Structure 1
Amino acid sequence: MKQSVLVLGNSDSGLYDFRKEVLMALMQEGYEVHVSVPDTGYLEKIKKLGCICHETVMERRGMNPLKDGKLLLFYRKLLKTIHPAAVLTYTIKPNIYGGVACRLAKVPYLVNITGLGTTLEHDGPLQKLIVLLYRTGMSGAGCVFFQNEQNLAFMRQKGCLKKRTKTRVISGSGVNLEEHPPMPYPKEDTVRFVSVMRIMKDKGIEELLEAARRIHEKHPETVFELLGAYEEETQARYEPMIEDLQSKGIMRYYGYRDDMPEFYRHCQAVIHPSYHEGMSNVLQEAAATARPVIASDINGCREIFENGVSGLAFLPKNADSLTETIERFLLLAPEERAEMGRQARAYVEAHFDRRQVVTAYLETLGSLIGATRC
């Protein structure tokens, strides 16, 4: 009988887009792979890979004790049904409640910190609650994966990790270099900048909109293209601002899209003004397509490019700095921009090949399951 591995996450699209190679590698290793995520339209794609899927009801945001309690009970029942050899968890609620369920059932598990998230980035009662829950959820983990050193240091400083807990820093989710090949640099007169983000304050939307307004006023040949869904609680604030820029020809808003490479193909650079990241998938994919990146000088962004060589960094939460940095980019000759894109591709090839990340998971999982057998 095949041993099974259970993967817990909060997003079917995120799991498919950034971790399908992990799922496929597990199956190639001979494991029966079970996946527990909410269904937002990608579950069928995950099934077609060969995984057994368990649709999961989960409130991604918010801390409703009743709903979160039901999620914990769902995970406990799932563990009793599947009897996995090990569990792999991603994102906050699967990490916490999946971790607690595994610890109670004495099932080995690996935790992935894919970023701290808005709640943990800001001091307050909710941060203290999440920290307490993380201490509980990760206390029995066989290993905790981090995407950057700063997130690891934060969790250590908050006491979320026991001294004996193994940790490993990996290159985020990595990028599939075959699915995101280098593209010829565009020669159009219109200078297109692309940003891909959830429309929320902590992703830097306010700084982006202000910089776009200023830049277009001085450089009418520029267009800012924005991809990503609104957050329900802030749509009323940001939708009118974006529509105003659209009406003036400054910005084009496309909503959520799953064909981002087509936008990268026609752009001169990708702008990412985030306040905090685990390890930005947007920047990894953009750089893989040989596009320069203009990004916040923060952990989770700065590791993905060489400032002045394959991209340009600016101060986070600072519209002036972003505007000045875009101005610097526009002063570059077209060939200099193209060379910056070529360097971006070379850098991610060397440091962010997704195959390296997959190997790290397989090595750690194999050691964990092997130790459990002994």
Structure 2
Amino acid sequence: MKKAVMLINDTTYAFNLRGAIIERLINEGFEVAVVGQLLKHQDKLKAMGAKLIGVETGRHGTNPFSDLILMWKYIGVLKKEKPDVVLTYNIKPNVYGGIACQLLKIPYLANVTGLGTPVENPGKLQKLTIQLYKIGVAGSACVFFQNEENRAFFEQRSMLKKEAKTRVIPGSGVDLSKHPLLPWNDDGKIHFLFAARIMKEKGIDLFLAAARKYASDNIIFDVCGACDDEKYKTLLNSETSIIYHGEQKDLTKFYQECSCFLYPSYYPEGMSNVLLEAAASGRPVIATDRAGCRETVDDGISGYVVPIKNQQAVIEAVEKFLELNMEERKNMGLAGREKIERQFDRKFVVDAYIEEIGKIEKD
């Protein structure tokens, strides 16, 4: 039987964003092993037919010795599994998994799921990470990017070989069956929703600024997301202009209640999944003019695009949305749904992978 190994940060990510690829590979006759930290959805992945191998990537660590250990773990796993193809995602699996595949001469496909802060922000760490990334993707049969700006970043810094094959895919795509068009909540209130990990770079301060200006009995600002920073946790729990719901496993009821998804992020995204999901649900979105966010919105049609780190622009976009009538808001949401169906169906991502794996098999 053909075998595919997926090197990834954790099982939560694997199930939520790569489950469709795992399912398709199994249907195509592959045995699939998922290698990463064993967190949520292990039973669901096993039920799909995937084998799970626990490896802690230390995703936020910068200790070179730990990273070398990770690379040797990957080598050990790959030697044992003897896969026909390896799929790598996230920075450390791309780098150290890519190097392991090159050493063992195993074909692999790297997916740049966003630059990440160490790559995007100038400094010593950026120089080191760029060099590591350059080595990691050097042998990839095809390097997948989630937006054009990320590909241009790699090309401008000579991080790709001249003969390297690259493809831009629509992020992780959206499973349209799991994110259907939702009916509108007709309680007469307008709900703005922020759903993401609570951190400054995701634009929470800008969301709060809009909430403090417009929140009322009929204009509600909802926040969902895990809060690592105690400062923000204290702030959100005491902030009277918003309702903080904490981390939520399923956002469906919040998307349904939501009138507009407000996400003024300037974090280095590959492609923002929450923006894709909100638009797929038929909700207008307000997003920032940066790679991984702007692509999800047709400005003035399915939502609004605002400059990054611009509080006044966010407030003005919220005001513009409040001036719309109910019919205009619904039409904006429908335009967003149509855009997702047209450009971001997860099937497009899965098909791209199957196509590139087919080329590897022919070679």
TM bin (shorter chain): over 0.9
When normalised by structure 2's length, the TM-score is: 0.97
Q: Quick one: which amino acid aligns to residue 262 of structure 1?
A: K
Matched, 1:307 2:295: no
Matched, 1:259 2:250: yes
Q: Quick one: which amino acid aligns to residue 340 of structure 2?
A: V
Deviation (angstroms), 1:287? 0.9
Q: Corresponding residue for 2:310?
A: 318
Q: Secondary structure of 1:259's match?
A: coil
What value does the CA root-mean-square deviation take over the aligned residues?
A: 1.2
User: Residues of 2 paired with 1:230 and 1:60: CA distance?
Assistant: 18
CA contact under 8 A between 1:209 and 1:242: conserved in structure 2? no
User: Residues of 2 paired with 1:36 and 1:310: CA distance?
Assistant: 38
Deviation (angstroms), 1:338? 0.7
CA contact under 8 A between 2:260 and 2:285: conserved in structure 1? yes
Matched, 1:179 2:174: no
Q: Corresponding residue for 1:277?
A: 269
Q: Corresponding residue for 1:239?
A: 233
Deviation (angstroms), 1:238? 1.6
Q: Quick one: which amino acid aligns to residue 279 of structure 2?
A: A
Q: Secondary structure of 2:298's match?
A: coil
Q: Give the 5 Å matches for 1:63-82.
A: 63-82=62-81
Q: Corresponding residue for 2:332?
A: 340
CA deviations 1:72-109 (Å, max 9, x no partner) are 11100001100000100000000000001000001010
Bigger mean CA deviation after superposition, 202-211 or 280-289: 202-211
Q: Quick one: which amino acid aligns to residue 45 of structure 1?
A: K
Q: Secondary structure of 1:176's match?
A: coil
User: Residues of 2 paired with 1:220 and 1:297: CA distance?
Assistant: 31
Deviation (angstroms), 1:237? 2.7
Q: Quick one: which amino acid aligns to residue 237 of structure 1?
A: K
Matched, 1:357 2:339: no
Bigger mean CA deviation after superposition, 96-105 or 113-122: 113-122
Q: Give the 5 Å matches for 1:17-166.
A: 17-166=16-165
User: Residues of 2 paired with 1:190 and 1:121: CA distance?
Assistant: 39
User: Residues of 2 paired with 1:209 and 1:11: CA distance?
Assistant: 31
User: Residues of 1 paired with 2:340 and 2:303: CA distance?
Assistant: 12
Q: Corresponding residue for 1:197?
A: 196
Deviation (angstroms), 1:368? 1.5
User: Residues of 2 paired with 1:107 and 1:332: CA distance?
Assistant: 55
Among 316, 319, 327, the alignment partner of 2:319 is 327
Bigger mean CA deviation after superposition, 14-23 or 84-93: 14-23
Deviation (angstroms), 1:305? 1.9
User: Residues of 1 paired with 2:56 and 2:341: CA distance?
Assistant: 37
Q: Secondary structure of 2:9's match?
A: coil
Q: Quick one: which amino acid aligns to residue 129 of structure 1?
A: L
Q: Quick one: which amino acid aligns to residue 306 of structure 1?
A: D
Q: Quick one: which amino acid aligns to residue 225 of structure 1?
A: D
User: Residues of 2 paired with 1:118 and 1:253: CA distance?
Assistant: 26
Matched, 1:224 2:221: yes
User: Residues of 1 paired with 2:16 and 2:115: CA distance?
Assistant: 20
User: Residues of 2 paired with 1:140 and 1:282: CA distance?
Assistant: 32
Deviation (angstroms), 1:273? 1.1
Deviation (angstroms), 1:333? 0.3
User: Residues of 1 paired with 2:187 and 2:331: CA distance?
Assistant: 16
CA contact under 8 A between 2:287 and 2:297: conserved in structure 1? no
Q: Corresponding residue for 1:170?
A: 169
Identical amino acids, percent of aligned pairs: 43
CA contact under 8 A between 1:118 and 1:202: conserved in structure 2? no
Deviation (angstroms), 1:220? 4.3
The number of residue pairs the alignment matches comes to: 362
CA contact under 8 A between 2:190 and 2:218: conserved in structure 1? yes
Tell me, which stretches of 5 or more residues in structure 2 are unaligned? none
Bigger mean CA deviation after superposition, 101-110 or 201-210: 201-210
Tell me, which stretches of 5 or more residues in structure 1 are unaligned? none
Q: Quick one: which amino acid aligns to residue 291 of structure 1?
A: R
Q: Quick one: which amino acid aligns to residue 48 of structure 1?
A: A
Q: Quick one: which amino acid aligns to residue 105 of structure 2?
A: K
When normalised by structure 1's length, the TM-score is: 0.94
User: Residues of 2 paired with 1:208 and 1:326: CA distance?
Assistant: 10
Q: Quick one: which amino acid aligns to residue 322 of structure 2?
A: L
CA deviations 1:39-93 (Å, max 9, x no partner) are 1222222111100110112211021122212211110000110000010000000
